[in-house]
Structure 1
Amino acid sequence: MAGSLVIIPTYNEAENIEKLVRNIFAQQRAFEVLVVDDNSPDGTAQLVTALQQEFRNNLHLIKRPGKNGLGTAYIAGFKWALSKEYSYIFEMDADFSHSPNDLIRLYNACAKGNADLAIGSRYKTGVNVVNWPMGRVLLSYVASKYVRFITGLDIADTTAGFICYKREVLEQITLDKIKFVGYAFQIEMKFKAHLLGFKISEVPVIFVDRTRGTSKMSTGIFSEAVFGVIGMKIKSLFKGYAI
């Protein structure tokens, strides 16, 4: 059991998905790809289905009936991955903000280093973000500092969504008990991995904001990440907190 699966949630990513899939399959290490599409009106799933004719055994697709949030998309992907024989399971955005060239670096941190969970970090070595307005950079950076303060996580980029998990991490987290569906999902997953005692490592990456398609960020998603963290931390102090 040594396969690597990259999970990519999509909603209206027709402009990016084919190029991204081809870039992943062009890497020197073999990765399989699972696209979890939330019924994109722009035909993203249909493009993936067409590509499956070329990448028959390595490109997979879950089609969901509606837009149900980033967290639930990843959980669907995690459950699918755990039903197969993958040792390394990745999270990755569809918009090229995460470079496919960094997949191998995250893999090496887990497979050759001592990490159980490797994060592609924007803030490990300063602020490595391209094309974001300064206000958004500051908001994201301060949010990560805030989350770190509240949770006690020794992680510079607590909201990062470019991640490699060893299979054992996802097997031990109770996926059905994950509460958050937006970007706070990323915080909750890291927090629970930390509570379980897994080794978390950060790999510095350069984050490039999307140049094609539309951002899915909203004030509601951001509020969930900011205000939900306090409740999560308080609940974790009690015996009945589900990990």
Structure 2
Amino acid sequence: MASEKKNCYSIILPTYNEKENLPLIIWLIVDAFSQINEEFEVIIVDDGSPDGTQDAAKQLQKIYGEERILLKPRAKKLGLGSAYIHGIQFASGDFIIIMDADLSHHPKYIPQFIRKQTSSNCDVVTGTRYRGHGGVAGWDFSRKLISVTANYITQTLLNPGVSDLTGSFRLYRKEVLVDLISRCKSKGYVFQMEMMCLANASGYKIEEVPIVFVDRVYGESKLGAIEVVRFAKGLLRLFATT
């Protein structure tokens, strides 16, 4: 009897100045998949990092193999959505996992994402900080308050069908991710919001897994005042168009 074909999972890691974090996140991803015995590949989409991130990626290729760690850089920062579009071109997996490379998303949740998708046969699994044992570690009270308030406002205005609209730790069926990205107009942090709104409006089945988001250990946060303004404008645009 022929053995059942195993799924393959492609993890797309957009990076910019993640030299310190990259070796650890890759090690944790490899460890997570060793526990569930599933096929996987990691696609590193680096946007011209000046800190040596690409050199670190090349060293990791020597350790884990170029068939396991794919380095697909770009010349400069071109936006999160376009990073996924770029990475998908090289993805051989049936499912695509998107996550941050700065250790704010722990790969230990990947087996839970995969089990949730397998048991429910859903199209999208998204991590949530706002249900079950989910939460945030490393933030002060004011930042937590801002996050909770922003999430409450997005839930009220958009009714997206998920509890954490701005999260960026997700598992997609490959064809679903391709479809959603082809219709998504937002960039930056609003991109994740619009993706969930589109998925919900399109009737795709979405499930959630509680996660604890951990503030980055190395490097600086890329969320600044400009991104906050763009978030507000994007939220209003989505409210007017969805």
Which TM-score applies when normalising by structure 2?
0.90
Q: Distance in 1 between matches of 2:64 and 2:213?
A: 28
| Conservation of the 8 A alpha-carbon contact between 2:133 and 2:210 | no
Count the aligned residue pairs. Answer: 232
1:13 aligns with 2:23: no
Deviations 1:207-232 (A, max 9, x none): 11111111111122122222212212
CA contact (8 A) 2:126 2:170 kept: yes
Identical aligned residues as a percent: 35
| Structure 2 CA distance for aligned equivalents of residues 127 and 19 of structure 1 | 22
Question: Is 1:110–1:166's contact at 8 Å kept on the other side of the alignment?
Answer: no
Q: Find the residue that maps to 1:164 and give its secondary structure.
A: strand
C-alpha distance in 2 between matches for 1:200 and 1:34: 24
Please state if 1:53 is matched with 2:47: no
User: Any conservation in 1 of the 2:133–2:212 contact (CA below 8 Å)?
Assistant: no
- C-alpha separation between the residues in 2 aligned to 1:70 and 1:170? 14
Q: Does 1:160 align with 2:167?
A: yes
Structure 1 residue ranges, 4+ long, deviating more than 4 angstroms after superposition: none
Q: Which residue of 1 aligns with 2:224?
A: 218
Unpaired runs of 5+ residues, structure 1, are 237-243
SS of aligned partner of 1:63: coil
- Counterpart of 1:149 (choices 140, 149, 156) is 156
Match of 1:191 in 2: 197
> What amino acid maps onto 1:72 in structure 2?
S
What is the CA deviation profile of residues 138-157 of structure 1, one whole-angstrom value per residue up to 9, with x for unaligned ones? Answer: 11111111111111212211
RMSD: 1.7
* Structure 2 unmatched ranges of 5 or more: 1-5
Inter-partner Cα distance in structure 1 for 2:44 and 2:179: 23
Task: Give 2:82's aligned amino acid.
Answer: T
What code does the residue aligned with 1:190 have? M
**Alignment TM-score, normalising by the size of structure 1:** 0.89
- Counting only pairs closer than 5 Å after superposition, residues 101-116 of structure 1 correspond to structure 2 as 101-116=108-123
Offset at 1:74?
2.1
What is the CA distance between 1:69 and its match in structure 2? 2.1
In the aligned structure 1, how far is the partner of 2:112 from the partner of 2:81?
Answer: 24
> d(CA) in 2 for partners of 1:5 and 1:176?
19
> Secondary structure, in 3 states, of the residue corresponding to 1:202?
strand
Report how far residue 126 of structure 1 moved: 6.9
Could you say what secondary structure the match of 2:48 adopts?
A: coil
- Paired residue for 2:233, among 210, 223, 227? 227
User: Could you tell me whether the CA contact under 8 Å between 1:88 and 1:107 is conserved in 2?
Assistant: no
